[in-house]
Chain A
Amino acid sequence: MVNGHEALVEHFFRHEYGRIVAILTRSLGIRSVDVIEDAVQQAMFRALTAWRNQGLPDDASAWLYRAAKNVAIDRLRRQKHESSISNDRDDANRNMFDSLAAPEIDAVDEAIPDDRLRLLFLACHPELSLDYTLAISLKLVSGFGTNEIASALLISQANAEKRIARAKERLRKVGRELAEVDQTVFEDRIEAVQATLYLIFSEGFASSVGPSPLRRDLCDEAIRLTRMLVEQCPVSQTSSSALLAVMLFHAARLKTRLDTQGAIVLLEDQNREAWDWNQIREGMTWLQRSATGGELSRYHIEAAIAWEHCRAPQFDAIDWQQVCRYYEVLCERFPGPMVRLNHAIAVGYHRGHAESLKMLSGSQSTTT
Chain B
Amino acid sequence: MAKFLLIYRDKAEPATMPSPEEMQGFLALWGEWFQQFAGNIVDGGDGLLPTGRVLQPNGEVANGPYIEAKEMIGGFSVVQADHYEQAVEIARHCPITKVGGAIEIREFANYN
Contacts and interface: CB of A to CB of B under 8 A. Distances in A.
Given A8-B27, A13-B20, A51-B27, A45 B13 contact: yes
Interface string A5-20: 1101001111011000
A41 interface: yes
A55 B18 contact: no
A85 interface: no
A147 B27 contact: no
B18 to A, nearest CB: 7
Given A49-B47, A145-B20, A146-B19, 17 more contacts: A2-B35, A5-B30, A8-B31, A11-B21, A11-B24, A12-B24, A13-B23, A13-B27, A41-B20, A45-B18, A45-B23, A52-B47, A52-B95, A53-B46, A54-B44, A145-B21, A148-B19
B21 A53 contact: no
A1 interface: yes
A44 B38 CA distance: 25
20 contacts: A1-B35, A2-B31, A5-B28, A5-B31, A11-B21, A11-B24, A13-B21, A13-B23, A13-B24, A41-B20, A45-B18, A45-B23, A47-B23, A48-B23, A48-B30, A52-B47, A144-B21, A147-B19, A148-B19, A148-B21
B89 interface: no
A144 B18 CA distance: 10
Nearest to A12: B24
Nearest to B43: A53
Contacts of A144: 19, 21
Contacts of A48: 23, 26-27, 30, 99
A2 B34 contact: yes
A143 interface: yes
Given A2-B34, A2-B35, A52-B44, A41 B28 contact: no
Interface residues of B, number: 26
A143 B19 CA distance: 8
Contact of B20 (A1, A44, A54): A44
A338 to B, nearest CB: 31
Contacts of B75: 49
Of A2, A41, A52, A143, the most chain B CB neighbours within 10 A belong to A52
Of B21, B26, B75, the most chain A CB neighbours within 10 A belong to B21
A47 B17 CA distance: 13
A303 to B, nearest CB: 30
B74 to A, nearest CB: 8
A83 B18 CA distance: 30
B22 interface: yes
A48 B46 CA distance: 11
B27 A17 contact: no
A50 interface: yes
Interface string B46-71: 11000000000000000000000000
Contacts of B21: 11, 13-14, 143-145, 148
A312 to B, nearest CB: 37
Of A8, A51, A145, the most chain B CB neighbours within 10 A belong to A145
B19 A52 contact: no
Given A2-B31, A5-B28, A5-B30, A50 B20 contact: no
A1 B34 contact: yes
Contacts of A49: 46-47, 74-75
Contacts of A13: 20-21, 23-24, 27
A305 B30 CA distance: 47
A145 B34 contact: no
A44 B20 CA distance: 7
B20 A6 contact: no
A14 B24 contact: yes
A308 B26 CA distance: 43
A269 to B, nearest CB: 33
A55 B44 CA distance: 12
Contacts of B13: 42, 45
A45 B74 CA distance: 12
Contacts of B24: 8, 11-14
Interface string A214-236: 00000000000000000000000
Given A8-B24, A11-B24, A13-B24, A52 B30 contact: yes
